[in-house]
Amino acid sequence: MTVDWGVIFGVTGFCVGLLSLVYARTQALHARRQADAANMATALQLQREMSERIFQHRMALIRDPGIAKMYYENVPGLSEALEDGKTTLESVVTIRNAIDGLQDVYFLRKRGIVEEYHWRHWAAAFNVIGRVPMFHLVYENAVARDALDPEFAAYLRPLIDGRPLTDPKSN
């Protein structure tokens, strides 16, 4: 019996070729995941910087008495709350910044980026903050001005009604 070396080398070459294709595909998938992670990191950094700019603008707003007065006179219910001494403009800005932070964490949790323990800290804080009347005023104003993502605004609505926040990842 004679061995046909051409067939043996051909089958071996075919197998090596298949293994190379599997390896190349695996490497392509890993490269794609790394690119996605880099894009996500860049997007998160940009959003963080934009959030910081918004925070700085809000702080500048409350430092300038003239601009602050024009602002709170145009927010329904805020003028009365400030005049009654029930709140300060600083507390309004703090609550608004907290809502923005929760919105960011909500979408990060929904995508599985924020871990459960971190989400629980935010939810526990907001389950208390949600009972504060000024929170309701700030929330309603943000919704009326379309300043919150509609999905997030709908998610937060039960908190206004006295129900606790649920985990967005399990929804």
The answer on 83 and 40 residing in a single domain is: no
Look up the domain containing 22 and give its range.
1-46
Residue 52 in domain: no
Residue 148: its pLDDT value, please?
Answer: 95
Stated length of the chain = 171
Q: Has residue 146 got a pLDDT over 90? A: yes
The reported pLDDT for the residue numbered 5 is 79
143 pLDDT higher than 80: yes
Please check whether residues 33 and 87 belong to one and the same domain: no
Domain membership of residue 78 (yes or no) is yes
pTM exceeds 0.85 for this model: no
Number of domains in the chain: 2
The three-point CA angle 144-149-153 to 5° equals 65
pLDDT category, 20, cuts 50, 70, 90? confident
